[in-house]
Amino acid sequence: MKRVFISTTNSVDNGKATEYFGVISSHIVAGTGFLSDFAASVSDLFGGRSGSYRRQLESLYDEALDELSNKAQLLGANSILGLTLDMDNISGKGMSMFMITAVGTAAKIQFDEEVEDNNSSESVSSTMLVNEIAKRAFLQRLKDEKTYLMERDWEPILKYPDNDYVLPLSMKYFQILTQPNESDYREKFKTNLGQLISLVDRDIAVQGIYEGIRLEKGFDPARLLIKEHSLFDAKSILALVHEGFTKRAIAILGADKPSYTETDLQDMEELLEALEHLPDVGRIEVVQDVLFRKEVEKFICAHGHRTNSDVEFCSSCGENIKGLTREEVKAIEVFKNRVTVLRDLLSK
């Protein structure tokens, strides 16, 4: 990711803050091993300054700012205001380390065109370059179905979360569900994937996890992830309905999301409209009653079962003329009430 605009002040002359996302921080802990190398460079010491020491510190400061910038972008911010940088010594139990802390307020700023143009020529730090090379190499590894992820593989992913990881890692998770005798590996993978979901852009997480709904083995795990991480998305569920995954779409209607806007309401109303006007998959047919020698109407469900026409749900499979069970019809009614209440709340 390209680094966002960063300022040590709480405002900028050529821009106006339109939204604040709160205080964010990054902490880089480093051992003092390189200090001994520095001290051994006697000629460097007698020179009064250490070029190697300075480069080490600059690299660590860059890493702290890159991490802070990534966190800001994942929140939807384009700037960090009020930046402060501190370095603290951490000693104990025969160990000596120090920690660089970067703290600032993530914000969205509407910049003047001149500032935006100046930012477009921003340089890329060496840390960002190294991280990007490592990320691309890792994404290439994921294309191999035999790739087995260890805990050490997850450490940089969770330390530097990136939207590009979500879809391939989600597909990898749904792929390993078919592998026998891997329950511990699957559980650890799910835990790490869940952490990544909580760190990246929500829309990207939705895209990655909803792909699992379409897969035979991925449906139940994806449904659980959607509910656990509040990834309800009416537009994505509507797409499932249009693609013929109606039952799977209804199964995740009860999922939630952190907050709702007028746009969400519009998407939910469109989804409700589609669910209330599903095409018939069964039919009412006039047949000849052999016993009473007269024509009678029969409800024939999508599976070919015949039931009296005055019965809403098939006595054999439990589905109505739309192909829905009682539980699925109830889920739609609950969703309808949710839409009604949300509409009332947003209209106040």
Inside any domain, residue 256: no
Boundary (domain end) residue, out of 96, 123, 150: 123
CA atoms within 13 A on the CB side of 101: 12
- Indicate whether 145 and 224 sit together in one domain: yes
Mean pLDDT of the chain: 83
Mean pLDDT of 317-323: 94
Say which residue, 332 or 87, is predicted with more confidence.
Answer: 332
- Indicate whether 112 and 212 sit together in one domain: no
Boundary (domain end) residue, out of 71, 93, 123: 123
Inside any domain, residue 181: yes
- Indicate whether 168 and 81 sit together in one domain: no
- Indicate whether 114 and 193 sit together in one domain: no
Nearest to 112 by CA among 16, 18, 5, 7: 16
- Indicate whether 106 and 168 sit together in one domain: no
User: Band of the pLDDT at 291, cuts 50, 70, 90?
Assistant: low
Inside any domain, residue 346: no
- Indicate whether 99 and 138 sit together in one domain: no
Answer yes or no: is pLDDT of 70 > 90. no
Mean pLDDT of 323-347: 96
pLDDT, one tens digit per residue, over 111-170 is 775 444 444 445 677 777 777 888 889 899 888 888 889 888 998 888 778 889 999 999
Inside any domain, residue 207: yes
Boundary (domain end) residue, out of 165, 197, 231: 231
280 CB burial (10 A radius; 0-12, 13-18, 19+): exposed
- Indicate whether 84 and 142 sit together in one domain: no
Q: Which two tokens stand for residue 287?
A: 């047949």
Inside any domain, residue 28: yes
What is the per-residue pLDDT for 33?
52
User: Band of the pLDDT at 280, cuts 50, 70, 90?
Assistant: very high
Inside any domain, residue 216: yes
* pLDDT above 70 coverage of the chain, percent: 83
Inside any domain, residue 179: yes
- Count of the separate structural domains present in the chain: 2
What is the per-residue pLDDT for 61?
81
Buried b (16+ CB within 10 A) or exposed e, 191-226: ebbbebbebbbbebbbbbbbbbbbeeebbebbbbbb
- Indicate whether 100 and 186 sit together in one domain: no
- Indicate whether 115 and 69 sit together in one domain: yes
Say which residue, 170 or 32, is predicted with more confidence.
Answer: 170
- Indicate whether 168 and 68 sit together in one domain: no
Mean pLDDT of 281-301: 78
- Indicate whether 23 and 111 sit together in one domain: yes
Answer yes or no: is pLDDT of 110 > 90. no
What is the per-residue pLDDT for 73?
85
What is the per-residue pLDDT for 269?
97
Answer yes or no: is pLDDT of 41 > 80. no
Inside any domain, residue 338: no
CATH of the domain at 65: 3.30.110.70
As a whole number of angstroms, the distance between CA 52 and CA 12 comes to 34
pTM for this structure?
A: 0.68
Answer yes or no: is pLDDT of 46 > 80. no
User: Band of the pLDDT at 191, cuts 50, 70, 90?
Assistant: very high
- Indicate whether 145 and 194 sit together in one domain: yes
As a whole number of angstroms, the distance between CA 83 and CA 185 comes to 40
What is the per-residue pLDDT for 116?
46
Instruction: Provide the domain limits for residue 42.
Output: 5-123
